[in-house]
Structure 1
Amino acid sequence: MKVQMNCEKCRAQALKIAAATQGVTHIAIQGKEKDELMVTGDEVDLVKLTRCLRKKLHHATILTIEVIKEKKEEKKDDEKYTSPYYVCYPPYPMPPQIMVQDPCQSQACSIM
């Protein structure tokens, strides 16, 4: 909304009027000249808000009306993050160790 706000007193009064409106959850002053009032909330009656601002501040215009859609963040909250599932198998059994000995090495040489 574009509202005629020339001084800090007018800005404070506009914020007070917007805060008193039913359904308003967030209010911000924007624009280069700080003459735009951004109001967000659930089921805000902009016509009623504009009339109240016009009574007190003499000039108020609705610039844009947007419906803010909820993002898909709610789906992400429902899906809990789980780390990848790794399967650890036990190591393969080692074959039995067989000791192989050369029969010639264990006996002494008969020539000597």
Structure 2
Amino acid sequence: MKQKIVIKVQVVCDKCRTKALKIAATAYGVASVALEGQDRDQVVVIGNEVDVSCLTSSLRKKVGHATIVSVEEVKPKSDDKKKEDTSNKEGDKDKKGGTENKCSCPTPLCACSPPCYQPQLVFYDHDPYQPTCTIM
């Protein structure tokens, strides 16, 4: 299910805008990112299975104040003729030996949380009957 998410971000300069776009583009499940609004302060994200709260919190941490404006489902266009024409063209490409452009790269589960690392504990043996002072 494709979603269209609109997040309003407090941006001061162009550097903040590009930073917000980069953060939104690296989130899991994002298909496209754009800026909208009169002041270009709304980040519009379209994608599948996008974690809205995770994306908003990462924007808050790295850019500034961010609020969710809307989350809505994107309905596919109902042009049956165009779908049939494109499916025939893709079928012809596959028959001619064309390759599909599908990425098999693993994607992170959530861009807002760093990976968890377990601290390694080091144990030292201490003999209570042996003196700790090396001078004696």
- TM-score (norm. length: structure 2): 0.55
**1:98 aligned partner:** none
Residues of 1 paired with 2:64 and 2:77: CA distance?
37
Q: After TM superposition, where is structure 1 displaced by more than 3 Å over at least 4 residues in a row? A: none
Q: How many residue pairs align between the two structures?
A: 79
Q: Structure 2: which 5+ residue stretches go unaligned? A: 1-6, 87-136
Give the drift of 1:51. 0.6
Q: 2:15 aligns with which of 9, 19, 40?
A: 9
1:26 aligns with 2:27: no
**2:52 aligned partner:** 46
Q: Structure 1: which 5+ residue stretches go unaligned? A: 81-112
Give the drift of 1:57. 1.5
Give the CA RMSD over aligned residues.
Answer: 1.6
Q: 1:61 aligns with which of 67, 76, 93?
A: 67
**1:87 aligned partner:** none
**2:41 aligned partner:** 35
Per-residue CA deviations over 1:10-39 (Å, capped at 9, x if unaligned) read 001001100110111111111111111111
% of aligned pairs identical?
Answer: 47
Q: Which has the higher contact order (CA 8 A, sep 6+)?
A: 2
**1:104 aligned partner:** none
> Larger Cα Rg: Structure 1 or Structure 2?
1
Partner SS for 1:71 = coil
Per-residue CA deviations over 1:51-105 (Å, capped at 9, x if unaligned) read 10000122000001110111212x223379xxxxxxxxxxxxxxxxxxxxxxxxx
Partner SS for 1:50 = helix
